[in-house]
Structure 1
Amino acid sequence: MNAERPAAGLSAVLRSLNGDRGYGIALLGVCAVFAASELGGEAARNALSFDRSALTAGEWWRVLTAHFVHLGAEHALLNGLGVVLMWALFARDYSPSRWATIYFAACLAVSAGLWWLNAEVAWYVGASGALHGVMSAGTLAHLKRRDLDGWILAAFIVGKLAYEQLAGSMPFAGGANTIVDAHLYGAIGGLATALVLKPAAHSLYSAR
C-alpha cells in the first residue's frame, strides 16, 4: 500500500504536466528533434535556415525547417524549455494532428511575415515564433471553454507582444539576436488556425 502511494503521486504530477502515458513519450520525441538538429551543427543550420537568397533560388523547404534549427546549444535549450512549458499548459487542448496543423501553420506565418514584411531579415532560425503560435492557440482553447486561466493567459500574451513591438525584446530574451516580429507573426498564425479548429471539450481542471 505504502509503495503504491509514491507511484500514484508521481503519476498525478506527470498528468498535471501533461507528461503521462503517451504524452510524455511524444514530448521526448519533440525534444529529440531539437537535439538532433543541434547535433548537425553549422552544416544543418546552413542547410535548413530561413535564408533569403537560398529561398529565392528555390530552396522552399526552408520556410518550415528554419523553425527546427537553432543558433547553438543554448538557443536550442531555451526553445526546448519553451516546448516543455507549452506542453505542460496546452498539450491536451487539441488532438495531436490539430497541434501539428497549428505548429506548421505558425511556422509558415513566421516565414511569410519575415519574407514579405521584414526585407531587412536575411537569415532566421529558431522555434520561438512558432511557439507563440502554440501559446495563442492554446489560450484560445482555454477562452472557448471559459477556463479560469483563459483571460490571464490572454493578457500575458497580448502584453508580451505589445511590449516587444513597442520596446523590443524582453529583458530575459537574449537581446540583439531576437527578432520580435517573428513572435507576432507566429501568434497570429497560430490564432488564425485555431479559430477554425475545435479544441478539446473538457476543462483543463476537470481533466486533471
Structure 2
Amino acid sequence: MTRFPPLWRVIFGLSLLCVALQGADLTESLAYQRANIADGELWRLLTGNLMHTNGWHLLMNLAGLWVVTYIHRMHYRARGLLLLLLMLCLMQGIGLYLWVPSLLGYVGLSGALHGLFVFGALSDIGRGWRSGWLLLIGVSAKVISEQTLGASNEVTALIGARVATEAHLIGLISGIVLFVLFRGYGYWSNKI
C-alpha cells in the first residue's frame, strides 16, 4: 500500500476544512468583514480565505489549490507549504484591510492561490527554469488585466458575487514578498 505523502495530506486537510466550514454555514462568523475586524474580530483576516460564496466558488478554488500545488510540488515540503499558505492567507486579510478600505466583505482562497502560484513561478526561476518566467508573466498579465478591465462576467455570475480582483493583486505581491523572505531565511539557515 502506497503512503499518502505529507504534502498531499496538507492539501487534503485544507480542502476538507473548507468543505466542512462551508457545510456548517459559518460564513457570518468567519468571513472577512471590515466592520467586524475593526471591532476586534481579527480571526476574520485569516478565516475569510476559507469561506466561499457558494459551491461553485468553493469547487473552483479547491481545484485551483490542487492544480497549483501539483505544478510546483517539487518546491514544497508539507510544513513549509502549510506555513506558506497560512502566511499568504493572513497577508491577504491584512492587505485588504490596510489597502482596500472600500472592500467591506470578502470570502475565497483565490488571492492566496495567486500568491502560491507566484511563489512557485519564482521558485522555478530560481532553479533556472524558463517556464517560471512564462508563468510569472502570464499571472502578472492576468492580474493587470483584472485591475484595468475587471473580472469576467461569467465568473462573477458563477460565484454569485463581484470578483475581488484586489485580492488577486495583493496575493501576487504577497507571493513575491514571501518568496524573498523564505529564500533569505533559507539562505541563512539552510533549512528551506
Given the two structures, how large is their TM-score scaled by the length of structure 1? 0.79
Cα displacement (A) at 1:171: 5.4
Q: Aligned partners of 1:116, 1:24: CA distance in 2, in Å?
A: 33
Q: Aligned partners of 2:146, 2:10: CA distance in 1, in Å?
A: 31
Q: Aligned partners of 2:103, 2:136: CA distance in 1, in Å?
A: 29
Give the direction of change, closer, same or farther, for the CA distance of 1:83–1:172 in structure 2 (3 Å limit). farther
Q: Aligned partners of 1:115, 1:28: CA distance in 2, in Å?
A: 29
CA contact (8 A) 2:118 2:175 kept: yes
Equivalent residue number for residue 23 of structure 2 = 39
Name which of 121, 130, 135 aligns with 1:153: 135
Give the direction of change, closer, same or farther, for the CA distance of 1:94–1:148 in structure 2 (3 Å limit). same
CA contact (8 A) 1:106 1:187 kept: no
Spell out the pairing of 1:76-91 with structure 2 (5 A cutoff): 76-91=58-73
Q: Aligned partners of 2:87, 2:10: CA distance in 1, in Å?
A: 20
What are the ranges of 5 or more consecutive residues in structure 2 without an aligned counterpart?
Answer: 185-192
Equivalent residue number for residue 9 of structure 2 = 25
CA contact (8 A) 1:34 1:68 kept: yes
What are the ranges of 5 or more consecutive residues in structure 1 without an aligned counterpart?
Answer: 1-10, 12-18, 200-208
Q: Are residue 120 (structure 1) and residue 105 (structure 2) matched? A: no
Equivalent residue number for residue 179 of structure 1 = 164
Give the direction of change, closer, same or farther, for the CA distance of 1:159–1:47 in structure 2 (3 Å limit). same
Q: Aligned partners of 1:171, 1:143: CA distance in 2, in Å?
A: 33
Cα displacement (A) at 1:97: 2.5
Q: What's the Cα RMSD here? A: 2.2
| Identity among equivalent pairs (%) | 26
CA contact (8 A) 2:112 2:171 kept: yes
Moved >6 Å (runs of 4+): none
Cα displacement (A) at 1:190: 1.8
CA contact (8 A) 2:10 2:78 kept: no
Given the two structures, how large is their TM-score scaled by the length of structure 2? 0.85
The count of corresponding residues between Structure 1 and Structure 2 is 181
Larger Rg: 1
